[in-house]
Structure 1
Amino acid sequence: MDIEFFDPQKHDYFLEEFSKYSREPKEFEKEFFREFLEARVKEISEVSGISDDFKLYFAMTDESVMGDDLPINRHVHGYSFAEWMEGFDRDILMIRSVRDRENWKECLVNMLAHEMAHQEFYSIREKAPYSNWFNIIFEGIAMNRAEQVAEELGIGWQPDYRSEKSVSVSAEDIISVLDENRSYDPQSIFMNGEEPCEFAEGYNISYRVVKDITERKGMSLEELLKLEDSVMRKEVEESVDGILS
């Protein structure tokens, strides 16, 4: 892994959703986080088997822009891109974080594991997850992989949406839009429930669906990722129906 710290002048082309909440780390923050990130990424790679051959762009969250009333997993956030995507020549993670809020370390490890799991998806599937059913696999793999990492490293904290809590949407509603492309409309299954990183039902459903498939079929996350599209799509619908009906 290579680390480059966010510089708003140099990285003005970055994803707006990342850069508008980010600031350049100060020198003492760079020193602290370089050591912290290198150690955590190494641990995650060792316990998960996911490659650490990527470039990490790291920023501090600009809390004056973010606001104080949002959950920790909005103050610690990330994105992932594959080298085969247009405009990239290397696998990329973009992560921003704080270091002064409760559970920030645990949340940052979770975010690193989550985004590294997206890299695992990209390396095996070599295509972007456009449809809702494919995004259920995409996000569900990441959350279940992050959960495995947390268990291996003895981390007790977890995001609210990584749970068995009930959701208000029905199996029929989800199944009816499985083949539609994922959108960021407020009514999208990944966006409804107000604050998307705290309550969004689509993330909770993704976590539960992937867990159900792997337990029901007795397969690993990597084995699930290697299924044919038609088989994977069928398994998603079966799990949605079983969990939410």
Structure 2
Amino acid sequence: MAKVEKKASAVDKYYSRVTEYISKIYTEERQNIEKAADLMTEQIAQNKVIHAIGPGAHSRIGVEDLFFRAGGLVPINAILEFSMDQGALRSMLLERVPGIATALLDYYKVKKDDLLILINAYGINAATIETALECKKRGTKIIAVTSPVNARAIPENHPARHPSGKNLCDLEPDVMIDCKMPVGDAVVELEGLDVKVGPITTVVISYIVNTMVCRTVEKLIEKGIEPPVIVSVNTPDAGRRNQRYFEEYYNVLKRL
């Protein structure tokens, strides 16, 4: 009797797609992640903070995964204004407002020779493009995490776009890491539904930023510099290890 193959469930399909995308990033973006870690290492070696912004409700999650995170770097100056806490539609509208990015960069004191990690998979909205353009004007180095294939597929007249119609991937950031997000984000097709489910960006961006952190810490160790790493506040050793960092950065990191 012929063996009947079990039909792949949604669980199987999403697992397959997640591992496929992470594998592609691991293989194809390794050199760019290495360059990003070089820039991050340089900033920390100079006792400077690393700014991070995700202009959009879910892009913001990538910044949160960098900030005040167990096993993460302490000196991350997180810009977290695009929250859904006060409304999802409000967040969407804010990311489309020209001028908001410049005001935020002023408020967080982003300046010449600083480093900013700019996370936005879509790479087209007003706040994202304005952040990149303003950083270039200020002489701030940029690590961009975005998806060129998505940005270049969005019509020039789409209402989400910056008035210039530019794409983040085409603005020549100092380092660009392709998060590989496909158009529309979702990656799982299910019979009986005409749209896909299972967004990929949160998973792959978390993988990217935490890989950057791991490699940065490794590079700092290689240079003989003690990496400023937070340990989980829920572990017995947390107070002793973390307290000195909290005191050092309390008046430096606005969100701390």
Query: Same fold, TM exceeding 0.5?
Result: no
* TM-score when normalising by structure 2: 0.24
* Larger relative contact order, structure 1 or 2 (CA cutoff 8 Å, min sep 6): 2
Task: Please tell me whether Structure 1 or Structure 2 has the larger radius of gyration of its CA atoms.
Answer: 2
* TM-score when normalising by structure 1: 0.25
